[in-house]
């Protein structure tokens, strides 16, 4: 009788533990993509847009930085980057092929991509990237000062308007000095 009682208790304990044990291994946080970065990211289309930021040396003008990863079965091209608002101007680019399974840094497109408009560091700027496969990715791209990890980024030349004038402004460059007097 003693053995039967032990067996019944063991089976009962196993039945009570089954719901807790069955939840292990399904949709664990370690199985999901973890995107810890400063920039905007979109993984919804055939080309992932990763860590997109506008690096601004002064208010209203900066250089776009991002990484594009082609997850499709064939090559695709980045054909255009445009401001989602009429107040933005983005320098034109030559269509650039991204091979299947490869990545491309936006900074490697010619002399870089300049974005001019009415913005300051700390804001987000809506940009749309268009690819030859028909995909369009719209992101709210954060604007960061050209300081710290962005201090060595080479700035793209100013955007030329239809009148031939550059979008260069007389605004004072951002200061990269820390405002924290306590050294924390």
For the chain, report the end-to-end CA distance as a whole number of angstroms. Answer: 70
> Could you report the per-residue pLDDT of 99-110, keeping only the tens digit for each?
999 999 998 888
Q: Is 25 left (phi over 0), alpha (psi -120 to 50) or beta?
A: left
Number of compact structural domains in the chain:
1
Say if residue 130 is exposed, middle or buried (CB neighbours under 10 Å; 0-12, 13-18, 19+): middle
Residue 27 lies in a domain: no
**pLDDT for residue 183:** 43
Q: What is the mean pLDDT of residues 1-5?
A: 70
Residue 98 lies in a domain: yes
> Could you report the per-residue pLDDT of 51-62, keeping only the tens digit for each?
999 999 899 999
Residue 30 lies in a domain: no
| Neighbouring C-beta atoms of residue 171, cutoff 10 Å | 13
Residue 167 lies in a domain: no
The top-scoring range by mean pLDDT among 15-24, 28-37, 145-154, 167-176 is 145-154
Weakest-pLDDT range from 25-34, 37-46, 121-130, 134-143: 25-34
Q: Are 141 and 40 in contact (CB under 8 A)?
A: yes
Q: Are 115 and 61 in contact (CB under 8 A)?
A: yes
Residue 160 lies in a domain: no
Q: Are 36 and 50 in contact (CB under 8 A)?
A: no
Residue 144 lies in a domain: yes
Residue 129 lies in a domain: yes
Task: Tell me the CATH number at 112.
Answer: 2.60.40.1890
Range of the domain at 75: 40-150
High-pLDDT (> 70) share of the chain, %: 75
Q: Are 139 and 127 in contact (CB under 8 A)?
A: yes
Residue 145 lies in a domain: yes
What is the pTM assigned to this prediction? 0.72
């Amino acid at each position: 009788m003693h053995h039967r009682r032990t067996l019944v208790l063991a089976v009962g304990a196993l039945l009570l533990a089954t719901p807790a044990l069955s939840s292990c291994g399904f949709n664990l946080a370690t199985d999901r993509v973890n995107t810890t970065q400063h920039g905007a990211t979109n993984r919804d289309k055939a080309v992932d847009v990763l860590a997109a930021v506008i690096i601004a040396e002064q208010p209203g003008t900066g250089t776009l930085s991002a990484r594009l990863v082609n997850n499709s079965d064939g090559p695709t091209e980045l054909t255009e980057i445009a401001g989602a608002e009429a107040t933005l101007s983005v320098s034109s680019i030559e269509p650039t092929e991204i091979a299947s399974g490869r990545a491309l840094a936006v900074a490697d497109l010619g002399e870089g991509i300049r974005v001019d408009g009415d913005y300051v560091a700390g804001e987000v700027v809506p940009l749309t990237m268009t690819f030859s496969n028909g995909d369009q990715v719209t992101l709210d791209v954060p604007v960061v000062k050209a300081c710290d990890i962005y201090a060595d980024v080479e700035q793209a030349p100013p955007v030329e308007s239809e009148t031939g004038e550059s979008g260069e402004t007389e605004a004072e460059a951002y200061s990269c000095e820390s405002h924290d007097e306590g050294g924390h």
